[in-house]
């Protein structure tokens, strides 16, 4: 007996593999600093929790409308105005997390044999869902010399007659990069010139440290060819609630809802009312979180660049650093994978190897700084000691 061969096309997230290894170390009595999993350390805002509990007590535990409760879809549509996107509830489909919408987007837009421009480095589930839908990922590089901003010319060089979709992720996981306004305009022109769809993953959209939140869907001519994927996990620290959505041309909402019905039926009703409270209630917790993340970012970047052999671009959004440890690897003979494994086993710091995000991640690590400042300081001390124990000349 064996499973269907289509399952062989699915990849995974290394973050969950490393988290499991770290939990096993903790179970054995070791202390671990967790910088591997992309999860805010602030609690879900109390008014959001209360709204979810109230919904449960009010009996909102039955099936919801498959596309999402109308009040939430309307609130999502209105919230997009801060990104310059004009939408109504008819453009919104709600899912139990952003990943199901990413899956639905791939199944809805990619035909077998289609080429899909996919960022490298990038969130590994992009390649996974593209292959599952029968498409072929075509990596486009992110320019490290430009702090990992998309290089539109490099993307244009990879467009062929079979290219159908571009996947865009801004702010970007794992680098925290964003795009300039001219870059976004050039990307929009590229998509329109070649008649391409854009799947715009904006799950970190509110977590930016300078400048305004924006979306390629707001540019002229792009609303009709952009499918925004977003969710509540990162902005409102609702990772375990599982609440996401897609924003798309209105004509696509009905077939997308059919996909949702076939897959998950609907999103938990009480969770949707918690999401409604998140969007329409006070945003103080989000503002505080982003301000706190900026301080944590600065501490981690400063600490990493103080270690000889490590360089680190300053992320403009999200909550990840993607340091280049290439010089350390040259001196030690380690790969970034073995570096991450030994750092966890010997020093109790859980990070991800850059190769978990594609070939261009070689020589890098991804560190999530959405944690306590004291834990970041402890992690830096342990990383410095780990490097120094192997190459004393590189340690300060």
Angle, nearest 10°, between helix axes 70-79 and 269-280? 30
Q: What is the CA radius of gyration of the chain?
A: 21
Number of DSSP helices (H) and strands (E) in the chain, helices first: 13, 13
pLDDT band, very low/low/confident/very high, at 102 (cuts 50, 70, 90): very high
Give me the residue label for tokens 């440290």.
Answer: 209
- Whether the link from the prior residue into 195 is cis, omega within 30° of 0, is no
CATH 3.90.1150.10 fits 5-43+284-388, yes or no: yes
Convert the pLDDT of each residue in 141-152 to its tens digit: 998 888 899 999
Question: Across residues 248-276, what is the average pLDDT?
Answer: 97
Look up residue 303 and give its two tokens: 């600490």
pLDDT beyond 90 at 385: yes
pLDDT beyond 90 at 213: no
Convert the pLDDT of each residue in 22-36 to its tens digit: 999 999 999 999 999
Convert the pLDDT of each residue in 315-356 to its tens digit: 999 999 999 999 999 999 999 999 999 999 999 999 999 999
CA 226 to chain centroid, in Å, comes to 18
Among the ranges given (1-15, 114-128, 276-290), the one the predictor scored with the smallest mean pLDDT: 1-15
More confident residue, 305 or 13: 305
Closest CA to 367 of 310, 283, 328: 310
DSSP code of residue 63? P
pLDDT band, very low/low/confident/very high, at 209 (cuts 50, 70, 90): very high
The reported pLDDT for the residue numbered 394 is: 53
- Quick one: CA dihedral 368, 277, 210, 201, positive or negative? positive
Give percent of the chain above pLDDT 70: 99
Question: Across residues 258-276, what is the average pLDDT?
Answer: 97
Single pTM value for the model:
0.95
Percent of residues in the chain assigned helix, strand, coil, to nearest 5: 50, 15, 35
pLDDT beyond 80 at 393: no
Look up residue 389 and give its two tokens: 């124990």
- Neighbour order of strands in the sheet with 149-150: 92-95, 244-247, 226-231, 197-201, 163-169, 115-120, 136-143, 149-150
Look up residue 377 and give its two tokens: 């300081």
pLDDT beyond 80 at 302: yes
- Whether the link from the prior residue into 121 is cis, omega within 30° of 0, is yes
208: helix, strand or coil: strand
Domain parsing of the chain, residue ranges: 5-43+284-388, 47-280
The reported pLDDT for the residue numbered 392 is: 63
The reported pLDDT for the residue numbered 334 is: 95
pLDDT beyond 80 at 269: yes
pLDDT beyond 50 at 395: no
For the beta carbon of residue 357, count every other beta carbon within 10 angstroms: 28
The reported pLDDT for the residue numbered 389 is: 86
pLDDT beyond 70 at 396: no
pLDDT beyond 90 at 49: yes
Question: Average pLDDT, whole number, for the chain?
Answer: 95
pLDDT beyond 50 at 195: yes
pLDDT beyond 50 at 51: yes
For the beta carbon of residue 177, count every other beta carbon within 10 angstroms: 26
Instruction: Identify the CATH class of 47-280.
Output: alpha beta
């Amino acid at each position: 007996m064996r499973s269907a061969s289509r399952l062989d096309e699915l990849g995974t997230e290394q973050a969950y593999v490393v988290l499991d290894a770290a939990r096993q170390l903790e179970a054995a009595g070791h202390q671990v600093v967790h910088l591997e999993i992309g999860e805010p350390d602030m609690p879900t805002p109390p008014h959001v929790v209360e709204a979810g509990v109230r919904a449960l007590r009010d009996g909102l535990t039955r099936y919801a409308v498959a596309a999402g409760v109308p009040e939430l879809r309307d609130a999502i549509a209105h919230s997009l105005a801060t990104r310059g996107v004009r939408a109504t509830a008819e453009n919104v489909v709600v899912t139990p997390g952003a990943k199901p919408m990413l899956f639905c987007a791939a199944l809805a837009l990619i035909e077998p044999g289609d080429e899909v421009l996919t960022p490298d480095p990038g969130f590994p589930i992009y390649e996974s869902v593209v292959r599952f839908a029968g498409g072929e990922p075509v990596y486009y590089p992110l320019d490290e010399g430009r702090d990992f901003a998309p290089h539109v010319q490099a993307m244009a060089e990879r467009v062929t007659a079979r290219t159908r979709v571009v996947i865009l992720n801004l702010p970007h996981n794992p680098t925290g990069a964003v795009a300039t306004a001219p870059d976004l305009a050039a990307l929009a022109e590229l998509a329109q010139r070649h008649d391409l769809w854009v799947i715009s993953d904006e799950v970190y959209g509110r977590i930016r440290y300078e400048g305004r939140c924006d979306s390629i869907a707001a540019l002229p001519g792009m609303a009709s060819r952009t499918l925004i994927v977003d969710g509540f996990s990162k902005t409102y620290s609702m990772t375990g609630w599982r609440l996401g959505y897609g924003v798309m041309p209105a004509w696509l909402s009905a077939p997308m809802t059919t996909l949702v019905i076939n897959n998950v039926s609907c999103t938990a009703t009480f969770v949707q009312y918690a999401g409604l409270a998140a969007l329409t209630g006070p945003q103080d917790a989000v503002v505080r979180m982003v301000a706190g993340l900026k301080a944590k970012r600065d501490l981690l970047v400063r600490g990493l660049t103080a270690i000889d052999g490590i360089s680190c671009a300053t992320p403009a959004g999200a909550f990840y650093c993607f340091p280049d440890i290439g010089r350390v690897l040259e001196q030690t003979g380690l790969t970034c994978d073995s570096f991450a494994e030994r750092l966890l086993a010997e020093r109790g710091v859980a990070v991800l190897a850059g190769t978990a995000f594609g070939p261009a991640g070689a020589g890098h690590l991804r560190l999530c700084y959405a944690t306590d400042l004291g834990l970041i300081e402890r992690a830096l001390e342990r990383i410095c000691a780990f490097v120094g124990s192997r190459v004393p000349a590189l340690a300060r």
